[in-house]
C-alpha cells in the first residue's frame, strides 16, 4: 500500500542544505533531516500564524509549555513541571551552552564513541577536553551491535571530568539504551559526582514499537543532576524552524544554564514554537505512521546490505533514521565517504568525524522515500570494489 512518505518531493529548488550541498547528480544521504513533508496540522498552524502578519519578538505561550509537559507525560511517562523547561533555538547551541554552564576550562567531558561530532567538539570549543570511550561491537552475519564497556568508561574518568555527555538514542549507532544500561551509567555519574547532559533529540524516532526511557526519569537523584535536551526537529522534520528545549529540574543547574545562554543565544523562532505546539498536540497519528515507515526502511536497508553488499556490515538501528555502515572489510580505506561520493554519486557522512571507532565507516540517512533509499544503496553496491 502506498504511503504518504513514498512521495518524492523536489527539494533542490528549496533551501535545504541536504540537497544544496552537492551537485545535481549526487543523492544526499548525509545530514540528519528527512525528505518528508511535516504533518498537515503543523503546516496549517504555520499558515495561520503567517496570516496574523505581525512577527515581533516572541516568547513561549503557556499552551506551548503545557504541550511539552503533556508530551513528556504521554510519551515517556515522565512528570516534568513547566518551570523545568528552558527554551533553546537549537541543540548544538544547547550542547555548547551546557559545557559553558557546567564546565571550567581545563575540565573534561566524557562520552561513548563514535558519537555525533558536536557532542565532543562542544568541549574543545569551550576550552575543555573530550574523553571518547569506544563502544565494543558484536558482529552477527552482516549486522553489528554496539555495547557499553562500563569498566573502560569508568576508568577513563579523571578528577577533572565534570560532565557525562550522553546521546540517547545514540547517533550514529542507533541504539536506544536499556534501563539497565542507563542505570549503570547513572551509578557511575553518582560515584564521580558528574553532571549529566542527555541529548535526546532522536527520542521520538523509536522503531519496532519501542518506548523511549528518558535519562532524567530514572530516579530523583539522577533527575537532580541531569540536563535533558529535546526538540521536535528530528521527529516532525522541522529543524529549519529553530525550536528546542532543555529540561532541568534542579533550580541551581537551571539558573546556571540560563546565565550561560543569556545575551548569547537568540530568542527562539516564533514559527518554531507554533510548529512545536501543533506537532505535540496534533502530531501523534502522523508520528505513528512515520515510525512504521522508518522501521520498514530500516528492514529493507538491512536486507539489501545482507543480500547485495558482501563484506559490508550495518547496525540495525532501534531508533533514529541513521544506519552506521562498516566498510572496513571491503577495502575502502579510512574514507568510504570519498569513495561513494566519487564512484556512486552518493553523499554519506564520513565515519571518521564521529570520533574514535568511526574510521572505515559511513553514516547513511534513511529518512527518505524508500525508492530513493534503494536507489542510493544500488548505486553504492555497484561501486563496491
Ligand atoms: C544528537 C543530535 N543532537 C543535536 C543535533 C542538532 O540539533 P540542532 O539542529 O537543533 O542544532 C543533531 C542533528 O543531527 C543530533 O543528531
Give the pLDDT score at 334: 84
For residue 124, being part of any structural domain is answered with yes
Atom of ligand 1 nearest to the CA of 88: 10
Q: Which residues pair with 339 in a beta bridge?
A: none
Task: Give the domain CATH number at 117.
Answer: 3.40.640.10
Do 271 and 357 lie in one domain? The reply is no
- What separation in Å is there between the alpha carbon of 220 and the centre of ligand 1? 27
Q: What values do phi and psi take at 278, rounded to 5? A: -65, -45
End-to-end C-alpha distance for the chain, whole angstroms: 36
Q: What total number of domains does the chain contain?
A: 2
Could you say which of 258, 282, 306 is where a domain stops? Answer: 282
Asked if residues 114 and 358 have their Cβ atoms less than 8 Å apart, the reply is yes
**Phi, psi for residue 277 in degrees, rounded to 5:** -65, -45
Angle between helices 91-102 and 251-261 (to 10 degrees): 110
Q: Is residue 19 part of a domain?
A: yes
Q: Give the C-alpha separation, 218 to 40, whole Å.
A: 34
pLDDT tens-digit readout, 72-105: 999 999 999 999 999 999 999 999 999 999 999 9
- Is the residue at 310 inside a domain? yes
pLDDT tens readout for residues 295-304: 999 999 999 9
Angle between helices 62-76 and 270-282 (to 10 degrees): 40
Whether 91 and 216 map to the same domain: the answer is: yes
Q: Is residue 154 within 8 Å of 143, Cβ to Cβ?
A: no
Nearest ligand 1 atom to the CA of 242 is 10
Kindly give the number of the ligand 1 atom that is closest to the alpha carbon of 320.
16
Residue where a domain stops, chosen among 282, 297, 319: 282
Q: Which residues form the domain of 234?
A: 54-282
- What b-and-e string marks burial along 204-238, b requiring 16 or more CB atoms within 10 Å of the CB? bbbbeeeebbbbbbbeeebbebbbbbbbbbbbbbb
Please report whether residue 49 resides in a domain: no
Same domain, 234 and 288: no
pLDDT reported for residue 333: 85
Question: Each residue of 135-189: pLDDT tens digit?
Answer: 999 999 999 999 999 999 999 999 999 999 999 999 999 999 999 999 999 999 9
Do the bridges between strand 129-134 and strand 161-167 make them parallel or antiparallel, or are there none, so unpaired?
unpaired
**Inside any domain, residue 298:** yes
CA atoms within 13 A on the CB side of 99: 29
Distance 368 CA to ligand 1 centre (A): 18
Q: Tell whether the model's pLDDT for residue 228 goes beyond 80.
A: yes
pLDDT reading at 260 higher than 80: yes
CA–CA dist 258, 250 (Å, integer): 12
Confidence band for 109, pLDDT divided at 50, 70 and 90: very high
Q: How far is the CA of 52 from the centre of ligand 1 (A)?
A: 30
Q: Alpha helices of the chain — where are they, by DSSP H?
A: 17-20, 40-52, 62-76, 91-102, 117-125, 150-155, 179-191, 220-223, 251-261, 270-282, 284-308, 336-343, 370-382
Give Cβ neighbours of residue 261 (< 8 Å, ≥ 6 apart).
86, 88, 93, 97, 101
| pLDDT grade for 230, boundaries at 50, 70 and 90 | very high
230 CA distance to ligand 1 middle (Å): 9
- Whether 27 shows a pLDDT value over 90: the answer reads yes
Q: What percent of the chain has pLDDT over 70?
A: 100
> CA-to-CA distance for 148 and 357, rounded, in angstroms?
13
| 351 and 267 within one domain | no
| CA-wise closest residue to 196 among 225, 239, 233 | 225
Average pLDDT, integer, range 327-355: 95
Confidence of residue 42 (pLDDT cuts 50, 70, 90): very high
- Do 368 and 223 reside in the same domain of the chain? no
Q: What is the pLDDT of residues 335-346, one digit of tens each?
A: 899 999 999 999
CA of 72 relative to ligand 1 center, distance in Å: 19
Compute the distance from residue 201 Cα to the ligand 1 centre, in Å. 7
Residues 131, 156: contact at Cβ < 8 Å?
A: yes
pLDDT > 90: percent of the chain: 97
Q: Which of 17, 26, 24 is nearest to 383 (CA)?
A: 26
Residue 76 lies in a domain: yes
pLDDT band at residue 13 using 50, 70 and 90 as cut-offs: confident
In a domain, residue 46? The reply is no
Do 193 and 311 lie in a common domain?
A: no
- How is residue 196 written as a grid cell? 549529566
Are 276 and 290 part of one and the same domain? Answer: no
As for ligand 1, residues whose beta carbon falls within 6 Å of it are 32, 90-92, 116, 167, 171, 199, 201, 231, 233, 239, 244
Distance CA(319)–CA(85), nearest Å, equals 24
Q: Which atom of ligand 1 is nearest to the CA of 90?
A: 10
Residue 1, pLDDT > 80, answer no
Which of 230, 254, 282 marks a domain boundary?
282
Contacts of 284 by beta carbon, 8 Å cutoff, 6+ apart:
none
Average pLDDT of the segment spanning 264-269: 95
Q: Which three cell numbers stand for residue 25?
A: 547528480
Residue 47 placed within a domain: no
Give this prediction's pTM: 0.97
Sheet containing 313-315: give its strands across: 137-140, 143-146, 313-315, 322-326, 361-365, 349-350
Reference 164, options 193, 195, 187, 141; nearest CA is 195
Amino acid at each position: 500500500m502506498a504511503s504518504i512518505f513514498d512521495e518524492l518531493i523536489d527539494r533542490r529548488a528549496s533551501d535545504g542544505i541536504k540537497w544544496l550541498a552537492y551537485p545535481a547528480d549526487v543523492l544526499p544521504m548525509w545530514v540528519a533531516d528527512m525528505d518528508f513533508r511535516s504533518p498537515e496540522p503543523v503546516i496549517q498552524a504555520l499558515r495561520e500564524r503567517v496570516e496574523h502578519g505581525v512577527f515581533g519578538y516572541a516568547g513561549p505561550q503557556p499552551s506551548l509549555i503545557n504541550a511539552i509537559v503533556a508530551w513528556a507525560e504521554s510519551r515517556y511517562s515522565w512528570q516534568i513541571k513547566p518551570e523545568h523547561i528552558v527554551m533553546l533555538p537549537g541543540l548544538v547551541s544547547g550542547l555548547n551552552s551546557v559545557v559553558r554552564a557546567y564546565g571550567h576550562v581545563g575540565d573534561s567531558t566524557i562520552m561513548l564513541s563514535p558519537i555525533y561530532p558536536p557532542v565532543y567538539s562542544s568541549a574543545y570549543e569551550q576550552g575543555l577536553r573530550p574523553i571518547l570511550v569506544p563502544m565494543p561491537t558484536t558482529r552477527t552475519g552482516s549486522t553489528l551491535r554496539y555495547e557499553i564497556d562500563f569498566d573502560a568508561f569508568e576508568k577513563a574518568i579523571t578528577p577533572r571530568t565534570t560532565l557525562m555527555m550522553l546521546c540517547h538514542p545514540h547517533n550514529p549507532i542507533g541504539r536506544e539504551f536499556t534501563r539497565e544500561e542507563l542505570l549503570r551509567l547513572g551509578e557511575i555519574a553518582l560515584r564521580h559526582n558528574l553532571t549529566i547532559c542527555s541529548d535526546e533529540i532522536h527520542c521520538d524516532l523509536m522503531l519496532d514499537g519501542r518506548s523511549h526511557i528518558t535519562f532524567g526519569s530514572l530516579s530523583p537523584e539522577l533527575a537532580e543532576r541531569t540536563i535533558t535536551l529535546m526538540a521536535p526537529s528530528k521527529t516532525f522534520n522541522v529543524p529549519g524552524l529553530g525550536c528546542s528545549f532543555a529540561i532541568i529540574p534542579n533550580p541551581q543547574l537551571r539558573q546556571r544554564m540560563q546565565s550561560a545562554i543569556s545575551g548569547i543565544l537568540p530568542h527562539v523562532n516564533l514559527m518554531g514554537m507554533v510548529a512545536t505546539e501543533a506537532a505535540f498536540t496534533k502530531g501523534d497519528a502522523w508520528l505513528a505512521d512515520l515510525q512504521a515507515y522508518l522501521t520498514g526502511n530500516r528492514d529493507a536497508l538491512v536486507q539489501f546490505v545482507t543480500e547485495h553488499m558482501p563484506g559490508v556490515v550495518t547496525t540495525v538501528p532501534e531508533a533514529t533514521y541513521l544506519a552506521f555502515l562498516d566498510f572496513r572489510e571491503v577495502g575502502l580505506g579510512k574514507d568510504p565517504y570519498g569513495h561513494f561520493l566519487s564512484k556512486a554519486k552518493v553523499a554519506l557522512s564520513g565515519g571518521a568525524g564521529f570520533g574514535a571507532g568511526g574510521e572505515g565507516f559511513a553514516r547513511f540517512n534513511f529518512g527518505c522515500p524508500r525508492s530513493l533509499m534503494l536507489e542510493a544503496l544500488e548505486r553504492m553496491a555497484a561501486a563496491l570494489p
